[in-house]
Amino acid sequence: MRRLGPLWRNLFRKKQVDADLDAEVRSYLDLLQDEKAHRGSDAHSARREALLELGGIEQVKESVRDARAGRLLESMAADLRHAWRTFRKIPLTAAVIAGSLGVGIGVNTTVFSWIQAVIFEPLPGVARSGDLQRVEPRADTGSYPGVSWPDYQDLQRSLKSFRDVFAVRMVPFYVGETGRTERITGQMVSGNYFSVLGLSPAQGRLIQPEDGARVGAAPVVVISYEFWQQRFRGSPDVVGHNLRVNDRPLTIIGVAPPRFQGTDLGLNVSLWTPATLAPLLLTGTTELADRSQRGYNVMGWLAPEASRAAAESELDRTIRQLGQLYPETNGRMRGEVMPFWRPPNGPQRMLARSLGLMQGLMFLLLLAVCGNAANLMLARSSRRQREIGIRLAIGAGPGRIIRLVLTENLLLALLGAGLGWLVAIWGTDALRVVPMISTFPIRFQTRVGLSGSVFTMALGLLCGLIFGVSPAVALARLDPQSVLHGLSGAGFRSRLGRALIGTQAALAIVVLISAALFFRSFRETQNADPGFVRDGLLLANYNLTGRGGDGNAARRFAANLLERVRALPGVQGAAIAGSVPLDIHGMPLMSLQVKGHAPAEAAPDRGLMNTVTPGYFATMKIPFRAGRDFTDLNDSDAPAQAIVNEEFVRRFVRSSQAIGRAVTARGRSYLIVGVVRNSVYEAFGEPAIPMLYRSYRDAPRLGGEIHVRARPGSETLLGSDLRRIARELDPTLDLYDIRTMNEHIDRNAFLRSIPARIFAVLGPLLLALAAIGIYAVVASSVAQRTGEIAVRLALGATARHVIGQIVRETLRVVSVGALIGWLASLLVDLHLAGGVIYLPVFVGVPAILFMVAALACWLPAYRAGRTDPMIALRQE
């Protein structure tokens, strides 16, 4: 408290305090001189002796200032003022540093906000959702088929290492009055869903365990907050209203809390119903009793004392027990526990993985930016050696110099962080605006938020330290004697500068090659051969649920529909299938027995299954390898038929003749009538999977996907014709989700395209940063060597020669760095792409880098070559 007065004086009446101190020290000197004179020295030597004993007026004053209250504050303020003045002297350099830091920090924060949204808070509105775990059975084929409803009930009873587990399954619902329905994404959930998630309703109540306890309970539905706002304008009396879903009236019992959007990463869900409503909503389904229908995802939080490893071994035990009890459907399965944000399949898995990789690359990019900043600051500091030398000579300690230079750099870095924060807010927004293709509702609630802002500032400070420490230390270690005598210590900075250029070239190569590979692999999925012809295919979904028709009616409808569609002009083929390849939710996996093939272990063989009409393979342009297509839909004599793919034959039939062999699946026997080529079913790059197609004739379904083949480009024109035909057959029937096969594939590739899009922006940006860095180093080294260059020009060297030498020297350093980076990215590539080396990328990227580097060092070199030796030498 007592020191507050002096503090005030020291900080705000600095001039007066300083004058007083000066007078005091001088009076001391006078008194000392008097004393010496008194002892007999003459006036001149008395003065000298007094000065010697004092030890320097300025030094004494500085030591008093150091002892004073508020010293730290005062010098910080002085440093900040000084830093600001320094920037005003070099506006361009300061702007380039702050700007590039801003971009670097901004993209880092943008990626961080995505990681935040995907990994740390994957379920908006749910507390601790980053710790939510998935319970996944894994088949010995390596796929994760999901959990059936009866399995879930067993798991929920027996798993002790979870506090509780819930089950959830994504279902497209048809909402509205017959004939005016709309396809809405919903989830069918176990009764404990909302209570395990710990949610409380915005209106009414949520689904409770009693709602999902038994089949035949009251038909209820919970709607999302967004749906409530959009459809009911947030009206509070929505509770108790009826909502027609799949042509059944459901009672709205409540509204979910505001940000909650379901438990499918990135998917925006609007409705939740108890799973036990399945028989009511999905006519003819047996999913509540059938262990082979594995549509559910099971999740929960671990019990307080349980570890993930313990939970996994418990799960594994339980799943094996189920396998012994029901070998037919549950055999050869293992159990795995994994975090919610790392789903076992689908595009979401890809997203989480690539976000991690991207954050790593962004950090590298930021390092490159720091390298640039350090370079520019070093370039500056070599010109500042004189100033610093004087400061050191008149009594500033090395610590004081370090603080001065660090303050400048931290201030710059914080300016950059502020810019970065703005960039991040813009970038997060820009990426969130997702192109909505048809009805698949993707929504990521990314935002910069508090943690993002803290992240930004922390990155800024870190950057300031990274690029500030080396110039600060280098300057503080200057020898004032040699600096003031004009022996500039060029050694430290050209070595450091070169190391920075090399590192940056290496970083640029790594990031650019990874970016190119990412982009390429994305393009590749766009252009890869899926095993069918994707251009010229139109898809449309229909659903006859709730019309009370049986299998015969469904078959008749399909036959009539196809007959009319095929008659349309321009249509080359048409078929109906239960599933479309590359769908976000995959195809059902079935166990099956092939006659004459004994499975390796006690459990049965397995394959994917699709149900298709005759003409499907011609429409998809999947070639037959043997046999023929299914018999006509109206043929009532032929036995049940199946068509299998080559992988099926390779695994289960071996070398012998496949045609005519019997296959049993879901308790029914089929005769193999054809073998078709393997194609892609769930994802590009998947291993070959055994596939079994049943005929629609043998297993008619109430819904399906219409496939229409036309000349590429003309397929989009057929949509209205399809709608008209459907109405002709049933005036209340709507078609949903009419899209081309290419749109269908792109939609599923959407999540994959996020990283590719980010990279497309980043690649050029990084190249620009590398160029700035090289330019900075070369420009400063040239500036430093003006004298030398002038002498050489004066002695007869040509400008060409001088330029050539500077460019050669720089490119040598660039190539060492580039080589290191090239080797590093080769390793990354081998890891990522599994041994495939894309020559154009690995040759093209370094070539581009070299061109840019050459330009960046040629510019300053060219200027140096035009130096007038006379002017330059006079300046020395």
Look up residue 652 and give its two tokens: 């289960």
Q: At what angle do helices 449-476 and 91-115 cross, to 10 degrees?
A: 140
66 is a contact residue toward other proteins (CB under 8 A): yes
Q: Is 444 exposed, middle or buried (0-12, 13-18, 19+ CB in 10 A)?
A: buried
Look up residue 749 and give its two tokens: 């590739």
67 is a contact residue toward other proteins (CB under 8 A): yes
How big, in percent rounded to 5, are the helix, strand and coil portions of the chain?
A: 55, 15, 30
Alpha helices in 212-307 (DSSP H): 225-232, 278-281
Task: Count the residues of the shown chain that bind other proteins, applying the rule CB under 8 A.
Answer: 25
Smallest gap from Cβ 28 to other proteins, in A, equals 5
27 is a contact residue toward other proteins (CB under 8 A): yes
Selected from 12, 13, 45, 59, the binder of other proteins by CB under 8 A is: 59
Which residue lies nearer to other proteins by CB, 47 or 342? 47
Selected from 41, 49, 60, 437, the binder of other proteins by CB under 8 A is: 60
Which residue lies nearer to other proteins by CB, 28 or 684? 28
Determine the interface stretch with other proteins among 18-26, 108-116, 192-200, 290-298 (rule: CB under 8 A). 18-26
What is the C-alpha to C-alpha distance for residues 368 and 349, in angstroms, rounded to an integer?
A: 29
Selected from 19, 23, 761, 826, the binder of other proteins by CB under 8 A is: 23
Which residue lies nearer to other proteins by CB, 12 or 84? 12
DSSP 147: B
Q: Provide φ and ψ at 3, rounded to 5°.
A: -85, -5
Which residue lies nearer to other proteins by CB, 4 or 127? 4
Determine the interface stretch with other proteins among 57-65, 424-432, 438-446, 602-610 (rule: CB under 8 A). 57-65
Instruction: Annotate each residue in 29-48 with x if it binds other proteins (CB under 8 A) or - if it does not, as one string.
Output: -xxx-xx-------------
Smallest gap from Cβ 42 to other proteins, in A, equals 17
Selected from 12, 19, 52, 63, the binder of other proteins by CB under 8 A is: 63
DSSP 69: T
58 is a contact residue toward other proteins (CB under 8 A): no
16 is a contact residue toward other proteins (CB under 8 A): no
Which residue lies nearer to other proteins by CB, 26 or 317? 26
Q: Which of 742, 724, 680 is nearest to 536 (CA)?
A: 742
Residues within window 848-867 making contact with other proteins, judged by CB under 8 A:
none
Determine the interface stretch with other proteins among 53-61, 73-81, 137-145, 624-632 (rule: CB under 8 A). 53-61
Which residue lies nearer to other proteins by CB, 66 or 563? 66
Smallest gap from Cβ 66 to other proteins, in A, equals 7
71 is a contact residue toward other proteins (CB under 8 A): no
Smallest gap from Cβ 773 to other proteins, in A, equals 43
Determine the interface stretch with other proteins among 65-73, 534-542, 774-782, 787-795 (rule: CB under 8 A). 65-73
Selected from 18, 49, 69, 342, the binder of other proteins by CB under 8 A is: 69
CB count within 10 Å of CB 832 equals 15
Which residue lies nearer to other proteins by CB, 17 or 434? 17
Selected from 25, 401, 506, 658, the binder of other proteins by CB under 8 A is: 25
What is the C-alpha to C-alpha distance for residues 113 and 101, in angstroms, rounded to an integer?
A: 18
Alpha helices in 326-397 (DSSP H): 327-330, 347-393
Which residue lies nearer to other proteins by CB, 38 or 800? 38
Smallest gap from Cβ 1 to other proteins, in A, equals 10
Q: Is 121 exposed, middle or buried (0-12, 13-18, 19+ CB in 10 A)?
A: buried
Determine the interface stretch with other proteins among 54-62, 194-202, 233-241, 399-407 (rule: CB under 8 A). 54-62
Work out whether the CA dihedral 470, 476, 479, 485 comes out positive or negative: positive
User: Residue 310: what residue type?
Assistant: A
What is the C-alpha to C-alpha distance for residues 440 and 461, in angstroms, rounded to an integer?
A: 42
Smallest gap from Cβ 480 to other proteins, in A, equals 19
64 is a contact residue toward other proteins (CB under 8 A): yes
DSSP 210: G
Torsion angle, CA of 860/865/866/868, rounded to 10 degrees?
120
Which residue lies nearer to other proteins by CB, 61 or 723? 61
DSSP bridge pairs for 245: 175, 248
CA distances to 412, 661, 666, 700 from 675, rounded to whole Å, are: 68, 12, 20, 22
What is the C-alpha to C-alpha distance for residues 875 and 862, in angstroms, rounded to an integer?
A: 20
Determine the interface stretch with other proteins among 19-27, 99-107, 126-134, 750-758 (rule: CB under 8 A). 19-27
CA-based max dimension of the chain? 139
Selected from 15, 40, 44, 55, the binder of other proteins by CB under 8 A is: 55
Instruction: Annotate each residue in 337-376 with x if it binds other proteins (CB under 8 A) or - if it does not, as one string.
Output: ----------------------------------------
Torsion angle, CA of 174/178/181/186, rounded to 10 degrees?
-20
Selected from 47, 68, 248, 566, the binder of other proteins by CB under 8 A is: 68
What is the C-alpha to C-alpha distance for residues 171 and 293, in angstroms, rounded to an integer?
A: 14
CB count within 10 Å of CB 843 equals 11
Smallest gap from Cβ 197 to other proteins, in A, equals 57
Smallest gap from Cβ 67 to other proteins, in A, equals 4
Contact 189, 152 (CB under 8 A): no
Which residue lies nearer to other proteins by CB, 67 or 450? 67
Contact 620, 533 (CB under 8 A): yes
Q: Which of 183, 386, 354, 192 is nearest to 274 (CA)?
A: 192
What is the C-alpha to C-alpha distance for residues 534 and 801, in angstroms, rounded to an integer?
A: 59
Smallest gap from Cβ 419 to other proteins, in A, equals 42
387 is a contact residue toward other proteins (CB under 8 A): no
3 is a contact residue toward other proteins (CB under 8 A): yes
Which residue lies nearer to other proteins by CB, 65 or 82? 65
Determine the interface stretch with other proteins among 61-69, 109-117, 830-838, 849-857 (rule: CB under 8 A). 61-69
Which residue lies nearer to other proteins by CB, 54 or 350? 54
Which residue lies nearer to other proteins by CB, 69 or 760? 69
What is the C-alpha to C-alpha distance for residues 579 and 559, in angstroms, rounded to an integer?
A: 18
User: Residue 127: what residue type?
Assistant: A
Which residue lies nearer to other proteins by CB, 57 or 462? 57
Determine the interface stretch with other proteins among 21-29, 478-486, 705-713, 742-750 (rule: CB under 8 A). 21-29
CA distances to 506, 516, 771, 819, 852 from 840, rounded to whole Å, are: 18, 10, 22, 16, 18
What is the C-alpha to C-alpha distance for residues 30 and 7, in angstroms, rounded to an integer?
A: 29
Which residue lies nearer to other proteins by CB, 50 or 170? 50
Which residue lies nearer to other proteins by CB, 4 or 847? 4
The H or E element that residue 110 is part of is helix 91-115
Which residue lies nearer to other proteins by CB, 56 or 258? 56
Q: Compute the radius of gyration of the chain from its Cα atoms.
A: 37
CA distances to 165, 186, 345, 513, 628 from 193, rounded to whole Å, are: 8, 14, 22, 45, 48
Determine the interface stretch with other proteins among 50-58, 520-528, 558-566, 822-830 (rule: CB under 8 A). 50-58
Strands 662-665 and 624-627: unpaired
Work out whether the CA dihedral 121, 122, 125, 127 comes out positive or negative: negative
Q: Which residues bind other proteins (CB under 8 A)?
A: 2-3, 6, 21, 23-25, 27-28, 30-32, 34-35, 53-55, 59-60, 63-64, 66-69
